[in-house]
Amino acid sequence: MGEPLFEGLRSSVVSKLTDVPKRILIGRALRSDRLGETLLPKRVALPVFASDPLSSVAYAPGEVLLVLSIAGVSAYHFSPWIAAAVVVLMFTVVASYRQNVHAYPSGGGDYEVATTNLGPKAGLTVASALLVDYVLTVAVSISSGIENLGSAIPFVVEHKVACAMAVILLLTLMNLRGVKESGTLFAIPTYVFVAGVFIMIAWGSFRGLVLDDTMRAPTAGYEIKPEHEGLAGFALLFLLLRAFSSGCAALTGVEAISNGVPAFRKPKSRNAATTLALMGLLAVTMFCGIIGLAMASNVRMAENPAHDLLDKGVPVGSDYVQNPVISQVAEAVFGKGSFLFIVLAAATALVLFLAANTAYNGFPVLGSILAQDRYLPRQLHTRGDRLAFSNGIVLLAGAAALLVWIYEADSTRLIQLYIVGVFVSFTLSQTGMVRHWNRHLATETDPAKRRHMIRSRAINAFGAFFTALVLVVVLVTKFSHGAWVALLGMVIFYVMMTAIRRHYEHVSRELSAPEGPSDDSVRPSRIHSVVLISKIHRPALRALAYAKLLRSDTLEALSVNVDPADTKVLREEWERRGIDVPLKVLDSPYREVTRPVIEYVKGLRRESPRDVVSVIIPEYVVGHWYEHLLHNQSALRLKGRLLFTPGVMVTSVPYQLASSEAAKKRAGKRQEWNAPGSVRRGPAQERPREPSGKE
């Protein structure tokens, strides 16, 4: 059986080794009673929860032009009409979600609305859609940011996947430091980006309308080779609907505010509704402004620029890098290399990276709510040391990194998976809100409140109809281009969460305490204590002394004969010392330790099924990481097997070596040391009293 063993994973030295880098990366742990300090004012909540829809104006206009380019430049004149349709949809969704945040301020968002009003299956469908969409938000935003940054730094384009992974890691660390801290840091580039876009729109409009200047994008002289020239009828309608569905990328992330209401300062609902309205106004203004300037400066985009973009009739070739629409417009308005051009380019890349922060705040909160409802592992409901939902943040980062790796950080390929989940949640949420108002109208008698409810129901009903229509358009136009992957992801999440809920319910039924007497509450007839012994030393003697204190019905020492010479020495010393506990030695012809002990313990249980067997294992505690590698780990395997044996209790009797004392002293020298999970368990002791005047 070897020496008494130590599991090694929970020693103070290991805690120290993991705690120091953890504190450097994410900061000092916060007490649970400081949760209120992490709440956000509106000026910080806007970049935290709305950075995704605000930043989507950097790629949504380009997606519209890319789709229209299939029919050639002549189809570009439809882009203002598509922009107008997106604006109507945006205002409809924002108005609808303002009703949501007032009616459901607890932070469940679309999931809570659908579950409460349409049932658990609808709620789980919404949750599946949102989880997929949050992962895609991170992947698309960061990939698009890498492409924008690559227009200025070629190295980034050459190593897109590695750079995207690095950004995901950086964002993950920042969010692990806490919502408020990351939000304050992210606010600056978001506001710089918004200001830069508005300056570009204002200056471009002034140049075009007042000064009558001619603004030309770097691609203005190019021609587009249409894949399908002269489209008309149904084919043209299908193309326009596909362009509209691509432009709807500007709406992603709108629902994040309704999911994050608890993170706002009081009054929570009013602050969230105000932030939502401001976000919608900013997003549609920037989206329309960029579309208008792109038309004025003759921006040219192609889905396959190497072959379809022509310079004097010749394809530009595979070496050509197609810059995003916003970069081309900025170059036309400000001039390439100008100060404002560089500032806007840098801010655009940064805000696209930070747009993923919307998902970093939405995914963990939704995961926590789902874990509380037993649809996801309970660990996702646990707050980390910085009072953020750390496990959800890490899970989101891992899933997004996997997508970036699979799709090689290509935003055009990733965006085809996008939007489906958003409009599934939009539609079910607004349908649920209609039923919510119907339920309240059935009992409300106050005329003023009824008028308010009827108006709110009308807004939500229009929102449900419009978003359902867009969902159909998105499914029809994008299914074969990659939307099926998002639907598959939703199905996988749905099945997985259903299975997790079923497991938790099964375990709950199995563990529920019965009203009357049961086998678990009936006192065992007898207790057989077995102390595992490999040799006679201090840990073994301490374990024997402890076993005697238990006053079991029977007590024996148990050893396994792996080496006959060692066994002979053990027997002789046992008799010489006169230890008053019988020693039983098990033969092991194949030099196994675990199996003979397990079979012996099971044999005791078979002889007396109503008895309990208590297995006592002596072990010593070491303080250096390398000591865990030097000692036999057979006791760990033995414990693991004994846990699956009914009627067997396992007790460890630790013996601290000198190295463990040194590790404990090193840990005690720190001014403040938090054991893993200390914030979640609560403070170990009360805060120090304030010094009084008498002291």
pLDDT digits (tens, 9 = 90+) for 186-243: 678 888 889 999 999 999 999 888 888 888 888 888 888 877 666 666 777 878 887 8
Mean pLDDT score, 140-162: 76
- Is the per-residue pLDDT at 318 higher than 50? yes
CA dist., res. 189 & res. 194, Å (int):
9
Is-contact 206 333, C-beta < 8 A? no
- Is the per-residue pLDDT at 676 higher than 70? no
DSSP state of 40: B
Given this model, what pLDDT does residue 37 score?
A: 46
Q: In what order do the strands lie in the sheet with 223-224?
A: 223-224, 309-311, 314-315
Is-contact 382 357, C-beta < 8 A? no
CA dist., res. 30 & res. 22, Å (int):
13
- Is the per-residue pLDDT at 693 higher than 70? no
Given this model, what pLDDT does residue 675 score?
A: 40
CA dist., res. 673 & res. 18, Å (int):
12
Domains of the chain: 31-504 (1.20.1740.10), 527-671 (3.40.50)
CA dist., res. 586 & res. 596, Å (int):
7
Q: How many residues does the chain have?
A: 695
Dihedral, CA of residue 162, residue 165, residue 166 and residue 172, to nearest 10: 180
Model confidence at 557, pLDDT cuts 50, 70, 90, reads very high
- Is the per-residue pLDDT at 650 higher than 50? yes
And the tokens for 310? 């022509």
Model confidence at 4, pLDDT cuts 50, 70, 90, reads very low
CA dist., res. 58 & res. 67, Å (int):
16
Specify the pTM.
Answer: 0.67
* Bridge partner list, 314: 311
Given this model, what pLDDT does residue 600 score?
A: 92
- Kindly tell me the burial class for residue 359, based on how many C-beta atoms sit within 10 Å of its own C-beta (0-12, 13-18, 19 or more): buried
